[in-house]
Chains A and B, each alone.
Chain A
Amino acid sequence: MSLESPESNEETLTHNVEFELNGSPERHCVPTSATVLDLLRNSCGKQGVRASCERSVCGACTVLVDDLPVAACSTFAFDVDGARVETVEGLAAQDGTLSAQQQAFRECGGFQCGFCTSGMLMLTTALLRQNPQPEREQIREWVSSNTCRCTGYEMILESVERAAELAGAKQQDQVSE
Chain B
Amino acid sequence: MRGQKLGAGLIAQSQSALPPFILHRPTSLGEAVALTRQHPEAVIAAGCSDLVAQFREGLEPEVLVSVQRITELRAISNNSGVLSIGSGVSHAEGSRSPEIVSTVPALAAAWGSIATVRIRYRGTLGGNLLSRRYRYEMPVILSALGGQMQFHGGDITALPVSSLWERDSLWDRSLGNVGILTAVTVDTASLLWFGYERSMRPVSTVSLAVRKNPVAGLTVSAVCGSEYRQPFVLSHAAEATDITELDPVSVGQVLAAQLPDEAGDYAGSIDYRRHLVGVLCGRLLAEATGNQRKG
Please indicate whether A and B come from the same complex rather than being unrelated chains: yes
Let me know if A69 is at the binding interface, CB within 8 A.
yes
Can you list, as one digit per residue, whether each of B44-61 has a CB less than 8 Å from chain A (1) or not (0)? Answer: 010011011100100000
Cβ-defined contact, A142 with B117, below 8 A: yes
Of A1-9, A19-27, A87-95, which binds chain B? A1-9
| B51–chain A nearest beta-carbon distance, Å | 8
Of B118-126, B159-167, B218-226, B248-256, which binds chain A? B118-126
Let me know if B22 is at the binding interface, CB within 8 A.
yes
* Chain A residues positioned under 8 Å from B14 (CB to CB): 54
Let me know if A50 is at the binding interface, CB within 8 A.
no
Cβ-defined contact, B121 with A35, below 8 A: no
Beyond A74-B49, A145-B117, whether A54 also contacts B15 by CB under 8 A is: yes
Can you list, as one digit per residue, whether each of B31-68 has a CB less than 8 Å from chain A (1) or not (0)? Answer: 10011001000000100110111001000000010101
Checking B18, B22, B56 against A10 with a beta-carbon cut-off of 8 angstroms, the contacting residue is B22
| B294–chain A nearest beta-carbon distance, Å | 26
* Chain B residues positioned under 8 Å from A14 (CB to CB): 20
Cβ-defined contact, A32 with B118, below 8 A: no
* Chain A residues positioned under 8 Å from B21 (CB to CB): 13, 32-33
Residue of B nearest to A41 (CB): B16
Cβ-defined contact, A3 with B118, below 8 A: no
Cβ-defined contact, A79 with B15, below 8 A: no
Cβ-defined contact, A78 with B56, below 8 A: no
* Chain B residues positioned under 8 Å from A62 (CB to CB): 118
Can you list, as one digit per residue, whether each of B103-147 has a CB less than 8 Å from chain A (1) or not (0)? Answer: 000000000000011110110000000000000000000000000
Which range contains the number of A residues in contact with the other chain?
35 or more
Cβ-defined contact, A15 with B23, below 8 A: yes
Let me know if B290 is at the binding interface, CB within 8 A.
no
Which range contains the number of B residues in contact with the other chain?
20 to 34
Let me know if B19 is at the binding interface, CB within 8 A.
yes
Checking B15, B38, B49, B122 against A3 with a beta-carbon cut-off of 8 angstroms, the contacting residue is B38
Consensus secondary structure, chain A interface: mixed
| A166–chain B nearest beta-carbon distance, Å | 22
Cβ-defined contact, A79 with B23, below 8 A: no
Residue of A55, A75, A78 most packed against chain B (CB within 10 A): A55
* Chain B residues positioned under 8 Å from A7 (CB to CB): 25
* Chain B residues positioned under 8 Å from A3 (CB to CB): 24, 31, 34-35, 38
Residue of A59, A74, A142 most packed against chain B (CB within 10 A): A74
Cβ-defined contact, A13 with B20, below 8 A: yes
Cβ-defined contact, A5 with B23, below 8 A: yes
Residue of A nearest to B51 (CB): A74
Cβ-defined contact, A33 with B19, below 8 A: yes
Residue of A nearest to B28 (CB): A1
Let me know if A73 is at the binding interface, CB within 8 A.
yes
Cβ-defined contact, A74 with B25, below 8 A: no
Cβ-defined contact, B48 with A32, below 8 A: no
Contacts beyond the supplied A3-B35, A32-B23, A145-B117: 10 A-B pairs with Cβ under 8 Å: A8-B23, A8-B24, A32-B20, A33-B15, A54-B16, A54-B52, A55-B53, A56-B118, A68-B121, A123-B118
